[in-house]
Structure 1
């Protein structure tokens, strides 16, 4: 049988087989999803599939000689939300720490621990209904995982753009602690004044504090860089909303 995958999915195929059309043996018992993954494409990255031109489910068992097409996931990709939830929740693997901090800067509920192994990540993703973001293809192949996504890009800037392009989540910048993901609440300067450096006390009047870890925040020396990240992210998500 032949399987034609979208150009966006070719990156998952081994270099020697990185063509748009692949021929794979079919025994009549393997599912379409199994055959697609045998090429190297994790199922969470596979979008709508067709079998002989008709829509097909990954659980379908194609006949030998069938022609299959696999699209990439739609962008923005819908994520099931719970009542009252306005944006997806995320959990990131141990290699995406900088991305996690930037997502928290944008107000996205982003769980991250630099010592969490793969089984624990899947458990947290499932129990808390978080989208697991990773660059580990094997992790995305775990059958127990309810929702996962491969993060494209080697630089944090590119990774963030990819996540925002894929999910176009509602952003709430400056509302989460970049260290622990807790929510920030306004705090009176007089309440924390004794803990501030003299220069900080003189230069800033508006502060926030993490409700979980107590970390205090203000628009400091790195404010310009962070403002740029927030501005570009907001513009990207707004543009995605217009294009829907």
Structure 2
């Protein structure tokens, strides 16, 4: 290594953000005397929301540290689980998912996690809503995570919904309350008496099920129906990873 260079050791968990031709653990840059370490790391392609501790010669430094020639920097990934700052009156992290994560949004709602989703919102609008409602913005768009205005965001790893959900639960360990949210609109479910909704049920459903829940926002009625076992397995798998709160309410059909 040249004494005029800064060497950065990138955590293996962060290598996916580097261009394929430069996807190596060790990176070398020439310091310009003005750029912060945070800027240097981001210029390599790593979004700062994914970056954990930064150490120089074993001592932790801040992102505003200006690297000097000869420095050896270790860039660590965000440690898990990640604590999320909560707004006053907020008891659990809330999430906002971008256009490509609709299935993950529905699975989070199935688990009782507050998760909003839009398939028609551009990047500036997503950032504005995440900031306004103090929601963690979940995305697989590197550029969206690099927006300076974003208060809190996270990259979702995996191409399959099962892998994405596992990644999210490992990273944030949100409290789970399965069967308490509407998977369609994210509203909260409340138990509803069968007699109250009897006229809305098909004869087969009325004969087969007695426990129902209704969304307080859109009015959708839920029960454990034909797809119940598949959904139950999603819930069982999730609660093995995150300690849940007691189950209440009706279940999605």
TM-score, structure 1 length as denominator?
0.95
Alignment partner of 1:12 is 2:17: yes
Describe how 1:172-187 pairs up with structure 2 within 5 A.
172-187=177-192
Q: CA deviation at 1:84?
A: 4.2
| Greater mean alpha carbon deviation, residues 20-29 or residues 50-59 | 50-59
1:74 and 1:81 map into 2 onto residues whose CA distance is 18
Whether the aligned pair in 2 keeps the contact of 1:27 and 1:64 (CA below 8 Å) is no
| Structure 1 gap segments, 5+ residues each | 240-244
Q: Deviations over 1:60-114 (max 9, x none)?
A: 2112332111111010111112344332100000000000000000000001011
Q: Deviations over 1:139-176 (max 9, x none)?
A: 00000001100000000000000000001110010000
Alignment partner of 1:108 is 2:140: no
1:82 and 1:39 map into 2 onto residues whose CA distance is 33
Report the secondary structure of 2:38's partner residue: helix
TM-score, structure 2 length as denominator?
0.92
Report the secondary structure of 1:226's partner residue: helix
Whether the aligned pair in 2 keeps the contact of 1:134 and 1:149 (CA below 8 Å) is yes
1:215 and 1:238 map into 2 onto residues whose CA distance is 28
Equivalent residue number for residue 188 of structure 1: 193
Whether the aligned pair in 2 keeps the contact of 1:2 and 1:65 (CA below 8 Å) is yes
Whether the aligned pair in 2 keeps the contact of 1:186 and 1:208 (CA below 8 Å) is yes
